[in-house]
Structure 1
């Protein structure tokens, strides 16, 4: 497929015979959630996906979605509230997350998950055997596969059953707008290099962020310029490029999801649940260097700051058995990511550090609060030990087009563009303005809640236009 820069073209010159009510750009969790909601409302839509099959950033994620007050929580006897969830989001972001989006997403994510279960058969279950950093209640939802790929497979199957039109290998490169920035159609490149065009009444951008656009990362996230990018290559910043041409406002561009546990050389994500349940990260000097329970996103920066930009996840048999409940971990283990050490001496040799330094580090892991990092340990680690070599990675960005609580893209003066919507990684998220603001699951929260909200707004735009 030929590479073309995203551009905005004059609507008066648009030539296209085919038309749909809503065009959705991107068939990840955000786009498919919106398409399914539009289907339930009787609204015609076409989803345009650049890849050969729907996957996107969702398929690369753990697939865990935080939500309060769901049927799944109630079934498992878990008490939660929108207010508690919103407070957790804002606390992690140090009060810097956009209040209108925090409230909107906290309110709508539960109904969005319940609708996917009730109408499309997605069987949610809540992970209740550990707590991700920043969450005060068990609210992380997953499908039975416990993977992002499993979640995408189920969303795609639901879209197929509903008859949602998803055109793959269709990379959107054009938005056709008039003088009031109303979008009248889109253009997309097909595998043979030909550009096809489609008229529409509204457009929703669900094409994620700019993590795969090296120049934008260098410009907007210089601290991650040299980091491994573990996200989807299709996150090319198209939404921002279109937004800049349309005079849209951008927000929270310094926010992103990093991860401090990207296995080397396997290139696999290692669940942070290991750290939350007692695992530690040790550098080439045999020392711990941060409180691992603060969050995996900011851990990316911590790990990259160590010698060689690497660290070792260290854990014991109890934690190994716990981690093997996660399919992604089992895959990484089968790929050779997990190495073993009978005792501290063998572990020191594996890491390449002095035994004295490592032994002092291991001795300090006791049921108490570590004075150096402030981490509280529930128990010590017992030999034999297991270790995974990791680095810090950039997963996806959390800043983008500024939107209101209805997912409408805003101009620089704060007024909404007539019929352009954005959600998920294409828009600003609820992670504040820096890496430490990312609460576990914020990416899929904004994708699914945002897609759900955008569909409601699109339907209202169509009703208003018909009056």
Structure 2
């Protein structure tokens, strides 16, 4: 078995006590038990089979947990519970809420099966983290971070003949890439050609520079745009990522539709394929392994010191280290340090692992940082959880934003930062996304993201009604004002021009029911600042020149997006520069 497989399956707990003396019968009562609790995204329901007094099987009946993240925690913990016949299991790093939800459900389940509170509380358990087998390893290339950029760099290096290790502090792979919508901007894709869309590298470059207020590094932006087609083709042909053939999305700030969207409209589609490719190539992924220090000798980065299973493990990198640790969107203290405007009042779309670890490690070896104060918020997120609403991608199909008073207030197809600031200026610092059957039939967001749709309705964050008036009343919006606003908007569609807010992107009427109104608010989403790199992804030193054998790709890098990242550019960024980093590290 590959090390990758062993460590993936090793989130198990060796228990010092099992259910052998529950209640007065000495066994749990046989039967099938169904229990629910609230996880990260919504209700989680598990069905547990107890046979011969032991936990024989656990199945997920209902789940809104994120694929590959929360759901990975659910699957692995359930497996651990069955294999050890105990509910005393450890949480999966990076998925605490989902892990605790499983434990709550199982506690109620065994109570129903006859276990007393005293019995449950008295069961001691020894947590065994998935530890590396040795305290020192040697590879050609060590990649820190198993998100989209890190996995891409690892695959590229491995295909180039290198031995590669990937260090991931979470118990799962995917990073923020996994919880994104997965769309990547491509100038000149086959999908654009198929849909008659004219585009160019120059146009893509200009849109990106303009979107970042020309604070971006034009060299890096040009590299991203020129290599976008190759990155997309690589994902499609080499990695096997399936893309929606009927959809080319136009995110805010782009002059034409150019985003290729993976099937399912989820970054998990991409990261799942990347992980499978790593497994096929025999790349070693060390989960629950937190890199804490870059090792350096005579101004050359030689490896990584990491923590795994309670011990220090060193990873020697004979050719180079690739930093792909992501940004710091979930680190409130770090956000405030560089931009006090983004404090704890903001929830985040980022996974909790987005703490800026790689930036701190790089800084400790003399890396230059750029654009650290540029922090982006995403405009249409769940007000209760902070996570991105993908049902709200109806905005890209023509849905409009109104405030509680029923009035539009911004160009819905504009830049994320502009829309977010406009929403925060409204009553209750939230907005209401409004659309009807014309827009729904075009994008089918409630179908593509059916689980989220049902969860939003269950938590009263989205209402559906046959008439606009009924929808407005259910959402708590001024119905008369909204009716007048939508009537005016529909007249703009007839005239093919929005004189009020100069709406860009899709322009469709909202006239036929059913109607949908979703409550949204901004959350921190992307940190544009990070380590400075050159065209070869070599990390730059504060004293000038490159730090030898240290490369970086993904959100840990600054300078590419300027003040504001345009939607769809993150995935293009991580694939383009991840491939470059993996290739350049081979050359050292």
TM band (smaller chain): 0.7 to 0.9
Offset of residue 346 of structure 1: 2.3
Deviations 1:117-165 (A, max 9, x none): 3333334455645422233344312333331111111111111111111
- Residues 1:194 and 2:314 aligned together: no
Deviates more, 1:35-44 or 1:74-83: 74-83
Residues in 2 aligned to 1:72 and 1:357: alpha-carbon distance in whole angstroms? 40
1:46 to 165, 168, 173: 165
Residues 113 and 371 of structure 1: CA distance in aligned 2, closer, same or farther (over 3 Å): closer
| SS of aligned partner of 1:452 | helix
Partner of 1:11: none
Residues 349 and 75 of structure 1: CA distance in aligned 2, closer, same or farther (over 3 Å): closer
RMSD: 2.6
Does the 8 A contact of 1:261 with 1:296 survive in 2? no
- Which is bigger in relative contact order (C-alpha 8 A, separation at least 6)? 1
Residues 229 and 198 of structure 1: CA distance in aligned 2, closer, same or farther (over 3 Å): same
Offset of residue 404 of structure 1: 0.8
Offset of residue 280 of structure 1: 1.0
Q: How many residue pairs are counted as aligned between the two chains?
A: 445
1:265-276 to 2 correspondence within 5 Å?
265=384, 267-270=387-390, 273-276=393-396
1:164-313 to 2 correspondence within 5 Å?
164-180=283-299, 182-190=300-308, 192-201=309-318, 202-225=320-343, 226-265=345-384, 267-270=387-390, 273-313=393-433
1:373 to 489, 501, 514: 501
| SS of aligned partner of 2:421 | helix
Offset of residue 60 of structure 1: 0.6
Residues in 1 aligned to 2:403 and 2:393: alpha-carbon distance in whole angstroms? 19
Offset of residue 81 of structure 1: 3.1
| SS of aligned partner of 2:381 | strand
Partner of 2:464: 340
Residues in 2 aligned to 1:356 and 1:170: alpha-carbon distance in whole angstroms? 57
Offset of residue 294 of structure 1: 0.5
Deviates more, 1:322-331 or 1:22-31: 322-331
Offset of residue 370 of structure 1: 3.7
Does the 8 A contact of 1:409 with 1:420 survive in 2? yes
Residues in 2 aligned to 1:142 and 1:344: alpha-carbon distance in whole angstroms? 31
Deviations 1:328-359 (A, max 9, x none): 63222121343123434323323324334323
| SS of aligned partner of 1:229 | coil
Larger radius of gyration, structure 1 or 2?
2
Deviations 1:295-315 (A, max 9, x none): 345422222222222111111
Offset of residue 72 of structure 1: 5.6
Residues in 2 aligned to 1:269 and 1:297: alpha-carbon distance in whole angstroms? 17
- Residues 1:330 and 2:450 aligned together: yes
Partner of 2:184: 65
Does the 8 A contact of 1:424 with 1:447 survive in 2? yes
2:553 to 423, 431, 437: 423
Segments of structure 2 that go 5 or more residues without pairing to the other structure are 1-90, 94-133
Residues in 2 aligned to 1:82 and 1:326: alpha-carbon distance in whole angstroms? 33
Residues in 2 aligned to 1:125 and 1:277: alpha-carbon distance in whole angstroms? 15
Offset of residue 321 of structure 1: 2.9
Deviates more, 1:152-161 or 1:264-273: 264-273
Residues in 1 aligned to 2:544 and 2:508: alpha-carbon distance in whole angstroms? 52
Deviations 1:73-101 (A, max 9, x none): 56666554322321221222232211111
